[in-house]
């Protein structure tokens, strides 16, 4: 025997099936395993210290054997290949590598003709979305797309740190029907069995499958101990249903359902919750929400949004998966919209029927809004008429109804013309328009006419300049801009005191409102105006145009006293200056950003409103933010949020939102998160001001096993993202989002 490398090219007519499986996070927490397809036929090359036999029949290779076929590399001490019967036998340190995946064991037998065989005592390392490793007593190939793992286990933990693993006496994967079967499975965590499954089936390749899902638990002061066991029903590829029976120690039994459907032209989500008898109130309670969206034609869309609960305190007392639009009103709306064009003129048509269910808090009652039954809108837009003019003609018809207030219809028209003149460094935009509205009223107050109308012509001019120069900021070369802007509006006085307020309010006085023709929001008022806005903005821009720093100041000069108020008793502004508005924001250094705004009353020499916020985010999952909001006699709030590492893998999470004016905590969150690399534990405590003089506390936890699923009391990660601004999960699916301190250089390095 000659101790040298030998090469024998073998052209084979059959392919070698390669085992390739990975445990993945399935929908609703089920584990999934995915297999690579069989290797296509192609040339096979064998290298070894010695090769014996006849290549057309059978060869035996010994010593540092390497077989290559496409992406497949097979290593062993000894290998026998029988081309006549298509058999491969490998002994001694057998290792298969393909596309980064590794399989290793003492002995492999495989029949290339039938894609059947046995791998004795194999181990594996798989790299897909989540790197996994495991072992088995025996791996059986049962066909091209079918295999069985006997006495196997897997984990996503690093070697030497097997905190958790899933074991099964038998695991069968059938990729023809894309289904897996498991017998005598159990999840072990630090050698403690968390749960056992005598028999189960599960989907492969991230397909949905009917079955029980992981139970969830929570503890709440309003509901007590809450336990839910979801059942998922995969009705069809485009439909599914989630049924969750829930038991609450303080409230009783509840059923939560979610039905989803998706077609080419429409999709929807229906949720229904039902509590036959509340132990505390002794009555039946329920909630319903439906959201449906449909593409009726290429340019025609429709939407239905319906929400209903049985009583005013439903959201305060019961945990819910329904959407609450505002604090006190649930939306009920059907909406349709069509876009089109005729030549160079584009148009839009809209139709809406809108109502609300108003949820009243006896200690903080509110006035329910008007219902729109119906609302019809149309708009025409023609740009560059004659090469210069932009023409816009919006129109509206709407009927307002209310159970106790004045009702009626409103027909309005708001045509406008604009002549934009723009060039690099400057712009001038004169604009002219008319606000016209006609009313037909019922249930009017004494002295209020049933038929009335109002027309208000108006004109505005918007002009600005943009200057640039080079600048330096902490040694960084930047570009500084100076952007002065003037805005003038004129609208004559028209009496509107008898016009009802269906959907109109006074706009918030802010920087954007300084450049608006109307100081009211809605269609029932158009304010008289003769005022000039002066403003200036300066920015520091980076080499790529990114904004590093921004400072803005603006003020409105009233040339005449206002005469149109929201109500006859509403205060009006006289001639003179408005409050001064100023804001500044940007980044101070790497990871540091800030933002501040203020409204200063020059006549009284005092600040009416201001806000200040600072944020430090040096890297993902490192965050500290603090803000303070002040509105004289109305609002004084502190809001602090943080997520910060305490030691390797340990993170503290919290939020403190406190009202100084009311002297009460609005929301408090305290939590801890531990990321062990292959599993993560989170626990969160929340105290929330649910209603006037009503607080709610809840304790949640989540134990998540990367690549497998977990045990949790609701979606804790989603809760933290919604309630802690800037929160980042420390174990997301995308590895590039993992905090730098948690990133391994390579998964399972130096492991074969």
Instruction: Kindly report the backbone phi and psi dihedral angles of residue 268, in degrees, each rounded to the nearest multiple of 5, phi listed first.
Output: -160, 170
Question: Greater confidence, 405 or 177?
Answer: 405
Predicted confidence band at 703 (pLDDT cuts at 50, 70, 90)? confident
Cβ proximity of 35 and 19 under 8 Å: yes
Instruction: Convert 399-435 to b/e letters by CB count within 10 Å (16 or more is b).
Output: bbebeeebbbebebebebbbeeeeeeeeeebebebeb
* Each residue's pLDDT tens digit, 430-483: 999 999 999 999 999 888 999 999 999 999 999 999 999 999 877 788 999 999
Would you say residue 40 has pLDDT above 70? no
Contacts of 630 (CB under 8 A, 6+ apart): 607, 609, 610, 611, 636
Instruction: Tell me what the mean pLDDT of segment 563-574 comes to.
Output: 92
The helix (run of H) or strand (run of E) holding residue 77 is strand 72-82
Say what the pLDDT of residue 729 is: 85
Instruction: Tell me what the mean pLDDT of segment 608-624 comes to.
Output: 93
Cβ proximity of 427 and 464 under 8 Å: yes
Say what the pLDDT of residue 714 is: 63
Cα 67 from Cα 106, distance rounded (Å)? 16
Torsion angle of alpha carbons 722, 725, 730, 733, nearest 10°? Answer: 50
Cβ proximity of 15 and 40 under 8 Å: yes
Helix (H, G, I), strand (E, B) or coil at 41: coil
Would you say residue 132 has pLDDT above 80? no
- 6-209 belongs to which homologous superfamily? Lipopolysaccharide (LPS) transport protein A like domain (2.60.450.10)
Instruction: Tell me what the mean pLDDT of segment 398-409 comes to.
Output: 96
Instruction: Tell me what the mean pLDDT of segment 319-326 comes to.
Output: 56
Would you say residue 152 has pLDDT above 50? yes
**How high is the mean pLDDT of the chain?**
85
Instruction: Tell me what the mean pLDDT of segment 115-135 comes to.
Output: 81
Q: To the nearest whole percent, how much of the chain has pLDDT over 90?
A: 55
* Each residue's pLDDT tens digit, 167-185: 899 988 786 777 778 899 8
Say what the pLDDT of residue 306 is: 96
Say what the pLDDT of residue 700 is: 84
Instruction: Name the residue ranges covered by the structural domains of the chain.
Output: 6-209, 406-578
Would you say residue 375 has pLDDT above 90? yes
Predicted confidence band at 324 (pLDDT cuts at 50, 70, 90)? low
Say what the pLDDT of residue 146 is: 81
Cis bond upstream, residue 374 (ω within 30): yes
Would you say residue 659 has pLDDT above 90? yes
Sign of CA dihedral 165, 167, 172, 177: negative
Would you say residue 50 has pLDDT above 70? yes
Within 10 Å of residue 505's Cβ, how many Cβ atoms? 12
Instruction: Tell me what the mean pLDDT of segment 368-388 comes to.
Output: 93
The most confident of 97-111, 129-143, 531-545, by mean pLDDT: 531-545
Predicted confidence band at 616 (pLDDT cuts at 50, 70, 90)? very high
Say what the pLDDT of residue 206 is: 58
Q: Report, in angstroms and rounded to the nearest whole number, the Rg of the chain calculated over CA atoms.
A: 35
Would you say residue 656 has pLDDT above 70? yes
Say what the pLDDT of residue 36 is: 34
Say what the pLDDT of residue 8 is: 36
Q: Which residues partner with 335 through β-bridges? A: 303, 352
Q: pTM of the full predicted structure?
A: 0.76
Would you say residue 711 has pLDDT above 80? no
Say what the pLDDT of residue 213 is: 78
Within 10 Å of residue 118's Cβ, how many Cβ atoms? 16
* Each residue's pLDDT tens digit, 668-692: 999 999 988 888 999 999 888 866 6
* Each residue's pLDDT tens digit, 232-285: 998 988 999 999 999 999 999 999 999 999 999 999 999 999 999 999 999 999
Instruction: Tell me what the mean pLDDT of segment 562-582 comes to.
Output: 93
Say what the pLDDT of residue 601 is: 94
Q: Which of 4-8, 699-703, 717-721 has the lowest mean pLDDT?
A: 4-8
């Amino acid at each position: 025997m000659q101790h040298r490398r030998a090469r024998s090219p073998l052209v084979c007519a059959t392919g070698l099936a390669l085992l390739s499986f990975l445990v993945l996070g399935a929908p609703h927490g089920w584990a999934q395993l995915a297999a690579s397809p069989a290797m296509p036929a192609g040339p096979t090359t064998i290298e070894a210290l010695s090769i014996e036999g006849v290549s057309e029949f059978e060869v035996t290779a010994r010593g540092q054997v390497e077989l290559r076929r496409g992406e497949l590399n097979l290593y062993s001490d000894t290998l026998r290949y029988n081309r006549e019967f298509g058999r491969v036998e490998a002994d001694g340190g057998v290792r298969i590598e393909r596309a980064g995946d590794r399989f290793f064991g003492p002995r492999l037998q495989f029949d290339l003709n039938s894609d059947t065989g046995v791998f004795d005592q194999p181990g594996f390392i798989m790299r897909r979305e989540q790197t996994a490793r495991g072992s088995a007593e025996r791996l059986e190939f049962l066909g091209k797309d079918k295999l069985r793992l006997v006495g196997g286990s897997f984990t996503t933990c690093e070697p030497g740190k097997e905190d958790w693993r899933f074991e099964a006496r038998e695991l069968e994967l059938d990729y023809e029907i894309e289904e897996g079967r498991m017998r005598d499975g159990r999840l072990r965590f630090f050698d403690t069995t968390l749960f056992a499954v005598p028999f189960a089936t599960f989907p492969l390749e991230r397909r949905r499958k009917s079955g029980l899902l992981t139970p969830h638990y929570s503890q709440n002061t309003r509901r007590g101990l809450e336990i839910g066991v979801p059942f998922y029903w995969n009705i069809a590829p485009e439909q599914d249903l989630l049924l969750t029976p829930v038991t609450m120690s303080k409230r009783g039994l509840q059923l939560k359902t979610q039905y989803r459907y998706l077609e080419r032209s429409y999709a929807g989500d229906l949720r229904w919750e039902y509590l036959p008898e509340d132990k505390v109130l002794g009555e039946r309670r329920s909630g319903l929400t439906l959201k449906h969206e449909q593409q009726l034609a290429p340019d025609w869309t429709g939407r239905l949004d319906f929400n209903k609960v049985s009583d005013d305190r439903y959201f305060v007392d019961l945990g819910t998966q329904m959407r609450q639009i505002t604090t006190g009103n649930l939306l009920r709306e059907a909406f349709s919209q069509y876009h089109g064009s005729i030549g160079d003129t584009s148009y839009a048509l809209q139709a809406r029927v809108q109502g609300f269910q108003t949820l009243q808090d006896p200690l903080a009652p509110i006035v329910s809004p008007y219902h729109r039954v119906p609302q019809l809108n149309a708009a025409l837009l023609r740009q560059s008429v004659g090469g210069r003019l932009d023409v816009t003609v919006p129109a509206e018809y709407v009927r307002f109804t209310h159970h106790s207030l004045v009702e009626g219809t409103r027909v309005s028209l708001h045509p406008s013309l604009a002549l934009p003149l723009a060039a690099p460094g400057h712009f001038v935009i004169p604009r002219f328009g008319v606000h016209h509205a006609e009313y037909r009223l019922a249930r009017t107050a004494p002295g209020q006419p049933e038929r009335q109308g109002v027309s208000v012509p108006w004109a505005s001019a918007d002009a600005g300049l943009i200057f640039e120069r080079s600048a330096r900021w902490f040694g960084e070369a930047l570009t500084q801009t100076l952007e002065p802007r003037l805005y003038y509006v004129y609208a004559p006085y028209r009496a509107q005191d008898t016009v009802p307020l269906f959907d109109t309010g006074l706009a918030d006085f802010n920087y954007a409102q300084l450049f608006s023709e109307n100081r009211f929001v809605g269609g029932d008022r158009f304010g008289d105006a003769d005022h000039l806005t002066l403003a200036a903005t300066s920015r520091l821009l980076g080499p790529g145009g990114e904004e590093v720093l921004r400072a803005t100041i603006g003020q409105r000069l009233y040339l005449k006293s206002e005469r149109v108020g929201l109500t006859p008793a509403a205060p009006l502004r006289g001639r003179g200056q408005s409050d001064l508005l100023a804001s500044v924001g940007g980044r101070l250094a790497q990871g540091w950003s800030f933002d501040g705004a203020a409204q200063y009353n020059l006549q009284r020499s005092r600040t009416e409103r201001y806000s200040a916020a600072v944020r430090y985010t040096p890297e993902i999952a490192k965050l500290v933010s603090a803000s303070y909001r002040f509105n004289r006699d109305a609002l004084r709030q502190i809001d602090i949020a943080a997520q910060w590492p305490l030691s390797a893998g340990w993170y503290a999470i919290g939020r403190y939102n406190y009202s100084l004016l009311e002297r009460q905590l609005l929301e408090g969150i305290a939590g801890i998160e531990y990321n062990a690399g292959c599993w993560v534990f989170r626990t969160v405590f929340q105290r929330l001001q649910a209603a006037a003089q009503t607080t709610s506390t809840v304790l949640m936890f989540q134990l998540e096993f990367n690549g497998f699923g977990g045990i949790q009391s609701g979606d804790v990660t989603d809760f933290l993202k919604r309630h802690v601004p800037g929160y980042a999960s420390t174990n997301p699916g995308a590895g590039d989002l993992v905090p730098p301190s948690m990133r391994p250089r390579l998964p399972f390095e130096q492991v074969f």
